[in-house]
Structure 1
Amino acid sequence: MRTAFFTLLFSLVTISANAAPLPPAARAEVDALMTRLQSSGCEFNRNGSWYSGAEAKAHLLKKLDYLEGKDLVKTAEQFIEKGASTSSASGKAYLVRCAGKASVESGQWLKAELQQLRAVRAASSPR
């Protein structure tokens, strides 16, 4: 019994040691995207229900934690594709709906926001 416990403990430590967080630059981009989503005033549709940007951010950060734990993401694009575009429960695409505009798939919305973030960063970088 004791050996089984230590074997299980060692396995869990080994698994968590192999998990890697996003590289700092990618994490900064994801954090910026989540902040934009939260403060956008847009709504987020998940499995047929609409949620606030703050609720969407909380949900997507949980998915990010899961993906990082499995070492499945290394870039903001991978996070968008693997965690922020579709429901892992239903397979349905997530949607974003902003005031006065038609809803769009969250992957499309997040990729456009990521391009804007990168353009602003490039424009403000010293040359």
Structure 2
Amino acid sequence: MKHRIVLLAGLALAALSSVATAAPSAAAQREISGLMQALERSGCRFQRNGSWYGAAEAKSHLQRKYDYLLKRNLADTPEQFIERAASRSSISGRAYRVACPGAAEQDASAWFQQQLRGLRAAGR
């Protein structure tokens, strides 16, 4: 009985460690990269903590946040990237905003979700 418990505990630890070291799939990495490219090419402005930034600077900021999350295995899907990196300031908690030419200003979360739907519809 004791041997069985030790074996089960070992299997549970192995399963947890494999989950803890999981990396984003190739498809998830492509979609997150596509979201970053969409931002960079958008011509939109990005508001962070009350200040507006150009798309290239916003992409650079989000890349740093994404790299941080990757090191901690906290962004394995595009949805997690949007939720944990691209939606709000991790310091102030304020929502990021996006303002694109000819479109109403919106929360960055909604903008990135829309971009993700577009990427998936295009089969990327």
**TM-score of the aligned structures, taking structure 1 as reference length:** 0.78
Residue 11 of structure 1: aligned partner: none
Mark the CA change 1:19 to 1:51 in structure 2 (over 3 Å): closer, same or farther: farther
Amino acid at match of 2:67: D
**Where do 5+ consecutive residues of structure 2 fail to align?**
1-19
Amino acid at match of 1:82: R
Q: How many Å separate the matches in 2 of 1:55 and 1:26?
A: 23
Question: 1:35-114 residue pairs with structure 2 within 5 A?
Answer: 35-114=37-116
Mark the CA change 1:56 to 1:19 in structure 2 (over 3 Å): closer, same or farther: farther
**TM-score of the aligned structures, taking structure 2 as reference length:** 0.80
Identity, % of aligned pairs?
49
CA RMSD of aligned residues (A): 1.4
List, as ranges, runs of 4+ consecutive aligned residues in structure 1 with deviation greater than 4 Å. none
Answer yes or no: is the 8 Å Cα contact 1:39–1:53 preserved in 2: yes
**Where do 5+ consecutive residues of structure 1 fail to align?**
1-17, 123-127
User: Computing the radius of gyration over CA atoms, which structure comes out larger, 1 or 2?
Assistant: 2
